Structure 1
């Protein structure tokens, strides 16, 4: 029979509508049964898996995804890219405070009509602050998935120019799109735009653009969600903070969160003997994304070496590599 971690991985994949991951874990179960000598059961499982894959390929998955909309056109195509993510909240490992804030946004958005009947508006303008790789960008994808909305990402390389007034004009176009097409609009690396006015890096055009952003976000009454994410919260202009409905602060995972991340990321090829608490010690100080990448590298090693399970030594090796790379980038840690 399937191990407990495989059963949990199956349920997690089913709940997250991840058919690829679901069938991958199911094949692991079938392979394990074949190794135990249950050849007939393994063959039946493989037959069911193949039939399920064929059905999904035939009918597609349009019923569970947001209705596609046209790509941004004209000048707007240079300012926004659109995605249709499939990442659910249960895929993330978050602190209780961050998870509570995200769930509050989802609850208010899902019941926006009820709030509107009492003259109230749901949270929809969020500022996400924290170190790189801690889940800020992923949060925007989760909100888009859970609310069945497209995710639009602002391209600051096209939005910010050196010509007087041009950046502000382009910013107006983005906020016009906010009104015409409901979605989740992500302004990633927001410190590119929102640096403290009067600081050493302050330039006239950037100051005008920031002033325009402050005006536009305050005046915006669309149904879209506006997500600004930054790794440098202390560098942001203080006037920005009161323009957002909520500020969500992220941090590197705790030891308990790290163990949960490892358990989730290694579920497909995890050995029953893996000591996640011990492994979490080697991941101290690493971000969520670094831990997941280390687990993926360890699983790829196991597959290429034709192992049935990931060995602790493989996970430790890749966690150490990530930690060493981080120390090279940030020698002070």
Structure 2
């Protein structure tokens, strides 16, 4: 029968309305029963799954689509904002309990903003994400956009910052005008590029003016959009920035439990029951969530192409070791 982890994964995917993952795990259970010689049970399970999939297709069941027919920015904003329609789901995130709860709080307040307004309260909507690369900051921005059914606009900093005095601040004003006019999630990624401390030894006059403009615009902003800034180097940010944000969320590398969850999520289509988890987790310790996921993908490809789709401890530890070596 299904393992405890598979049962939990089935229930979670059902609660999240993630049919694809639900069917994938159910097929794993059927395959496991077939390997045990329970061919009748395996056949019944597979037939039930296939019937459910056909029924869903006949009803044209499809996941909810994110808002609006919003088009890529044109005119002066072309090249400054990059539009993404996000499909990421909450169950794609593997985060610490604290970070998960704080993101849930943002979602709850955004969904209940009308109720908060009745008491003169505003939802959190100006957030600063900090943490090392690959810890889930950008993915969390995509999930917030998807869950709120809003488009995600990423600010292209390379095109924002120019060498001409005053031009960057003018472009920044255009962006904040768009923030006011179009409700969406706006992501300033690699934010330290414009948020560097004023007076730093490498301070550039134009960057200082941009930072001053950003501080003014973000403080004056009263739109309904969600503004996110993400940085891998919070120590470089000007201290005046911190009080402009409603919440500062620090992302960490995954702990042992999170590493296992990441691996199980990414390899849900494979049988992972026989893995030597202690060895696998020990090998992956210190990697970012993104690196753990990529190592799983490397191992999965090798398993499919060379080992009859059988995932082994050796395959995963080899893939993890390559990622660890790449960090050095």
- Whether TM-score is above 0.5 comes out as yes
Please tell me whether the aligned partners of residues 66 and 87 of structure 2 are also in contact (alpha carbons under 8 angstroms): no
Range with bigger deviation, 231-240 or 169-178: 169-178
In structure 2, C-alpha distance between the alignment counterparts of 1:12 and 1:192, rounded to whole Å = 39
Where does residue 257 of structure 2 map in the other structure? 256
In structure 2, C-alpha distance between the alignment counterparts of 1:288 and 1:170, rounded to whole Å = 34
Q: Give 1:236 deviation, angstroms.
A: 0.7
Q: Give 1:92 deviation, angstroms.
A: 2.0
Structure 1 unaligned spans of 5+: 328-333
CA 1:182–1:58 in 2, change beyond 3 Å: closer, same or farther? Answer: farther
What is the CA deviation profile of residues 54-107 of structure 1, one whole-angstrom value per residue up to 9, with x for unaligned ones? 666676666612223221332223111222222233332222321222122122
Where does residue 319 of structure 1 map in the other structure? 320
In structure 2, C-alpha distance between the alignment counterparts of 1:39 and 1:260, rounded to whole Å = 30
In structure 2, C-alpha distance between the alignment counterparts of 1:24 and 1:256, rounded to whole Å = 22
Range with bigger deviation, 67-76 or 136-145: 67-76
Please tell me whether the aligned partners of residues 259 and 280 of structure 1 are also in contact (alpha carbons under 8 angstroms): yes
Range with bigger deviation, 266-275 or 107-116: 266-275
Please tell me whether the aligned partners of residues 66 and 150 of structure 2 are also in contact (alpha carbons under 8 angstroms): yes
1:289 aligns with 2:295: no
Q: Give 1:49 deviation, angstroms.
A: 4.7
Where does residue 222 of structure 2 map in the other structure? 221
Where does residue 142 of structure 2 map in the other structure? 141
What is the CA deviation profile of residues 131-160 of structure 1, one whole-angstrom value per residue up to 9, with x for unaligned ones? 000111111112112222211111112211
Give secondary structure in 2 for the equivalent of 1:138: helix
Where does residue 308 of structure 2 map in the other structure? 307
In structure 2, C-alpha distance between the alignment counterparts of 1:44 and 1:201, rounded to whole Å = 68
Structure 2 unaligned spans of 5+: none
Structure-2-length-normalised TM-score: 0.89
Structure-1-length-normalised TM-score: 0.88
Where does residue 154 of structure 2 map in the other structure? 153
Give secondary structure in 2 for the equivalent of 1:153: strand
CA 1:216–1:59 in 2, change beyond 3 Å: closer, same or farther? Answer: farther
Q: Give 1:163 deviation, angstroms.
A: 1.7
Where does residue 231 of structure 2 map in the other structure? 230
Please tell me whether the aligned partners of residues 168 and 208 of structure 1 are also in contact (alpha carbons under 8 angstroms): yes
Range with bigger deviation, 118-127 or 251-260: 251-260
In structure 2, C-alpha distance between the alignment counterparts of 1:309 and 1:112, rounded to whole Å = 49
Give secondary structure in 2 for the equivalent of 1:82: strand
Where does residue 69 of structure 2 map in the other structure? 69
Where does residue 244 of structure 1 map in the other structure? 245
Aligned residues: CA RMSD: 2.4
In structure 1, C-alpha distance between the alignment counterparts of 2:64 and 2:307, rounded to whole Å = 35
Where does residue 267 of structure 1 map in the other structure? 268
Range with bigger deviation, 83-92 or 213-222: 83-92
